Structure 1
């Protein structure tokens, strides 16, 4: 399965992705996203300084307003291809 980076605070998402068989790593700093097929972020501190550095080639999903199931569906559709 895919390697998915999940930002701290999204425990329900992390558990659901692990149940799907994905390898899940917690994102504590930018370098943690390297090598991830997809990352799930809260979006709370997204681009606060107006600087956008690309650290992963994988998709980034902003979890704001989505349920854990909706996030899992998005991850599934983005990493299958």
Structure 2
């Protein structure tokens, strides 16, 4: 698409709901094998938390996430996982 415009959504509340929607989209992209659609999710950012950017990048770039077993363990076992995220 040549005429793409950057869209910003600045919510006043609802970070958890937005995160849930992000994870649902990520799950279906991975399960359906639509890896090319991950580029859209990589643009998702929280301005209030720097660590969120790294976590989102980890999820979008983690080719080994299967979503078949314990997802938390799969994420923690990723090489670029930061233990500081366990406190979030």
Q: Give the alignment's TM-score, normalised by structure 1.
A: 0.29
Higher helix share: 2
Q: Give the alignment's TM-score, normalised by structure 2.
A: 0.28
Q: Whose Rg is larger? A: 2
